[in-house]
Structure 1
Amino acid sequence: MSERPIGIAILAMGGEGGGVLADWIVDLAEHEGYPAQTTSVPGVAQRTGATIYYVEFHPRALDVHDHAHEPVLSLVPTPGDVDIVLASELMEMGRAIQRGLVTPDRTTLIASTHRVYSMTEKTSMSDGRVDPRPFVAQAQKAAKHFVHADFARIAEQNGSVISAALFGALAGANVLPFSREQFEAAIKRAGVGVQSSLNAFAAGFATALAANSDTAQAKDQVPGDAARERGRRPFDIGSTNHPEIAALDRRIQSEFPAQAADILHRAVRRLADYQDVRYAQAYLDRLKPLRAADDVATYAVRGDDLLLAETARHLALWMSYEDTVRVAELKIRATRFARVRDEVKAAPEQLLHINEFLHPRIEEIADTLPATLGRWLLKPGPLRSMVERMTWRGRVVRTTSLRGFLMLYGVASLRGTRRRSLRYQREQVEIDAWLARTLRYAAHDYALALEIARSQRLVKGYGDTHARGMRNYRKIEAVLPLIARTVAPAARLKALCEAALADEEGVRLDALLDELRRNEGVSNAHAGHESVNVARAPVSSATP
């Protein structure tokens, strides 16, 4: 037998039906008389655990009982020898290319362009998301034929899992010796979720068919766009029909430039949802002085209004800082329960349990209390020791139980007393100081003021994350006068902020700060030496 088997590699993560997809392909081949087999190699935990499934079958239907002609099939994919690669996510596609499984002379690559972010992306102190565009560009070069779309969205729209949409794309790519009806028969023989799987199969088939005829539309081919759209959720409060929000919208239109309007409209809804409408009004009050700064800046001549827009964005984020009240409120929202139920695809008659691991530090507990009581709790003494002993291990709270729900509901109800809390007072002082610095530097160095506004990105999260960010922010804040005296202060401040986001330990930031102080010391010493020479010059010239 000189004909080589057809090799299909499937790269999928846990819960995406990669094994079901492999079984469908094997059942399809065997039912049509093609000797076939499948193997799987589980990977280490990456997101929900990546696995490579490998299917091989002979390219001609044979009598499988004729042992003289029964082929020997491989157990693992060999680089350069894979005909079809199916990837359930963009980074899995990248890994297939990196491993050499995709080659331009033979491989058809079918990949979903949606993203499931890795832990390194999620835990990054800055925006750690990987740009997907180079991956798509590389895939177009690496594969003989490349079919890509957001197959996760296609499956979701049809009430199924991504494996069914990818199976449809495999049929639509027309690279296997089977008809659409034979593909669909394999799904029917499996007998599980047949109708929803067939619906997703049909949508995946149409997508691949469109790609084959060069009529695919860009909206389904641009990676990440659909994921970003799915990530946008309207705030629970702040409909345009709400009279108080509508009044804020009118104020934005009359008092602020159109370039910043979109950010401001979103921000007032976010802050009204976070606290109340009065809090959103205070947000606009804080921004009015920045509007005047943009009016007199040369940047405003181009109509950019950069400083106002950037400050508005970061101010909204800072004023909606995460505290125990906010965390508790978000965990018990009906929209969250519905989203989790939808994600795990729980049937209406099934019970859903959600367990939360909560580990508040003594600082977070104190921050939630009224300022005087919070400061008292932070002082060393019996009360602090007792609270620390009670909370140091953390606890699991089931928010779907009455007891767990009421516990978090009680914490969330402290929203009305947030303005008296220790955390609120601290944050408002920091916010006012940040705005004052931004406005002060805007008068003589607009670019530096812009970077001061953006430095707020260092302050985020709660707990240890917030403590680290605030520590780095204050380190940079302390050297702003030194930065302002450098040759390119805006670029220097930007570099310091990027260093602060580079690592949790702050090693790079400390190194740059030390360098800045050393350079300032050398500069002062040099300036002092010159002033001494100038002072001595008249004396030496008067000497006989």
Structure 2
Amino acid sequence: MTGDLSGGPVRAQTPGITKLAIMAVGGQGGGVLTGWIEKLARAQGYSVQATSVAGVAQRTGATIYYVEMAPASERPPVFALAPSAGDVDILIAAEMMEVGRAIMRGFVTPDRTTLIGSTHRALAVSEKSAPGDGIANAKEVHAAAEIAAQTLILADMERLAVAHGSNISASLFGALAASGTLPFSRAAFENTIRESGKGVGPSLQAFSAGFDATLGLNDNDTAARSSTLASVGQANPTLQWEVLRNRIDALPEPVHQMALAGLEKVVDFQDCAYGSLYLDRLEPIVALDRASDHWLLAVTAAKYIANAMAYDDIIRVADIKTRGPRFDRIRAEMSVRSDQGMQLTEYFHPRAEEISGLLPRGLGARVENSPRAMAWLNRWFGKGRRLRTDSIPAFLLLYWLGGLRSYRLKTRRHTIEVAHLDAWLHQSLAPLASNYMLSVEMLRCQRLIKGYSDTHGRGQSKFASVMQGADLVKDRKDAAEWVARLHAAALQDPDGKALSGALKTVRSFS
């Protein structure tokens, strides 16, 4: 008996039975894809069994869908209920880290497994909750997949599907058809989608895109990029967007990609006029930079100015929670049929600062300066609220809040964020003439601030501490290195113990 990549046994392949596993997280249509495969096989005269093992929510574990099929015969085959290490013919992973998870569990082996995966990322909770950059290295997973699989098919199936207004399950179904691992024609695959009777047109287009990408017939990068820009242009006046794009094109070429990503983020957050303000802040910094330093200052500023301008306020949170695609993802995750109702409860736990920040700037400032008023807000909102957004009153409340974009710039919260942004840029650029890398590192400190409510408050506290430390070391030759160390310490733990120790060291220099 030989061993597989995970150290487990490799089982002998069962004659006549094809074994297929799908690993997908909520909202990726794993159940839909499994249903299509099951219906396809039955329509082609196969005996089929499909099962699923649900993972824990929020990406601490993916749902594993498992299908076994064999040509129908007088003697029904005996099917297994779950995949075993070294005993999977086809593995479909709906996200890059699920590719890695499949390899680690031994489901992918070089002697038999065709691995079909999407290269896009849907970040796990552990990646999102890390104080710093907790994103896992997809390149390492890709390298492991090249070794582990007999046949490897990787493409950005999510992008292909979204570009055609469909779900990733459709593009993965197309990749499966093109892989040749199942003895069914393309027409049979497409008929399965047609018979589903739901979203047939977009699903067939996404299917075709996945099929063609697998065969290498198309390079859809340009088309997908055009789709992204078109969606932004539809939400905002086309002429204004083109003016902003022309301003991006006037920047040095190495800055284009990050500046465009930042522009799209702030326009989605507010509007094209707000995007113009973003470029108003970025362009003077680009003018201070130079090619000899590879435009590092400008690229860093492009990223973190956008993050600072697209802060998470109540308006933003409500907007995201009432967007149609989010409800579609949840319905797909819960396998809700068209004739079924769905109950959805949202949990909100804003601090008093979030409530006062929603008020007009003058009134909000007065409330924040009143301990009695802030205590009253904490009593009312400190325990959080649960809203049933499948009910009309709760949904309309959030929809109304999410639609307050035009009012946002008049709020107390926006005044605070603008003051923070201006102070951060001023302090970061002050040492530029004498210490280029110190300015770069101080710009990077903005990454400490993210999230909402208590998470945002902790980030602000750490940011302020690191910037105070930067002020203490600004005259040292190794100031940039020390700011980078303080920054790294702030990202090590949520409680800030590592940062407190690093600040003690910095203060000892004085």
Q: TM-score normalized by structure 1?
A: 0.72
Deviations 1:214-257 (A, max 9, x none): x455657x9xx9699859963788757349x95x8899999x86
- The residue number in structure 1 matching 2:4 is none
Query: Residues 227 and 463 of structure 1: is their aligned pair in 2 closer, same or farther, counting only changes over 3 Å?
Result: farther
Q: Which amino acid aligns with 1:151?
A: M
Relative contact order (alpha carbons < 8 A, sep ≥ 6): 1 or 2 greater? Answer: 2
8 Å CA contact 1:39–1:54 kept in 2: the answer is yes
1:97-496 pair list within 5 angstroms = 97-156=103-162, 161-181=167-187, 183=189, 192-193=197-198, 195-196=200-201, 200-208=206-214, 210=215, 215=216, 234=232, 239=237, 241-242=239-240, 246=243, 290=285, 293-294=288-289, 300=290, 302=292, 304-324=294-314, 327=317, 330=319, 337-340=323-326, 357-369=347-359, 373-378=363-368, 382-395=372-385, 396=387, 398=389, 401=393, 404=397, 408=401, 414-415=407-408, 417-418=410-411, 421=412, 423-424=413-414, 426-484=416-474, 488-496=478-486
What amino acid maps onto 2:426 in structure 1? A
- Contact preservation (8 Å) 1:353, 1:400: no
Name the aligned partner's letter for residue 234 of structure 1: V
Compared with structure 1, are the counterparts of its residues 321 and 109 closer, same or farther at alpha carbon in structure 2 (3 Å cutoff)? closer
Structure 1 counterpart of 2:8: none
2:361–2:410 CA contact under 8 A, matched in 1? no
Distance (Å, rounded) in 2 between the aligned partners of 1:516 and 1:377: 37
What residue identity is the alignment partner of 1:63?
E
**Identity of counterpart residues, as a percentage?**
38
Q: Distance in 2 between matches of 1:267 and 1:174?
A: 41
Task: Point out the structure with max Rg over C-alpha.
Answer: 1
Give the whole-Å Cα distance in 1 for the aligned partners of 2:212 and 2:273. 51
Distance 2:187 2:245 in 1: 55
Contact 2:236 2:271 in 1 (8 A): no
Count of matched residue pairs: 490
Where 1:82 maps in the other structure, the secondary structure is coil
Provide the alpha-carbon RMSD of the alignment: 4.7
Give the match's secondary structure for 1:111. strand
Once the two structures are TM-superposed, the CA of residue 78 in structure 1 deviates from its matched residue by: 1.9
Inter-partner Cα distance in structure 2 for 1:123 and 1:292: 35
Report the Cα offset of residue 198 of structure 1: 5.4
What is the CA deviation profile of residues 298-345 of structure 1, one whole-angstrom value per residue up to 9, with x for unaligned ones? xx26274443453354334434544445556x459xxx6454466558
Distance 1:62 1:33, change over 3 A: farther
Point out where structure 2 has 5 or more consecutive residues left out of the alignment. Answer: 1-12
Q: Is the contact made by 2:314 and 2:401 (CA closer than 8 Å) also made in structure 1?
A: no
TM-superposed deviation, 1:497: 1.3
- Equivalent in the alignment of 1:515: 505
Q: Report SS of the residue matched to 1:471.
A: helix
TM-score (norm 2): 0.76
Q: Equivalences for 1:27-46 in 2 at 5 Å? A: 28-29=40-41, 34-46=46-58
Task: Please list every run of 5 or more consecutive structure 1 residues that lacks an aligned counterpart in the other structure.
Answer: 65-69, 295-299, 522-544
Q: Which deviates the most, 509-518 or 151-160?
A: 151-160
Amino acid aligned to 2:443: A
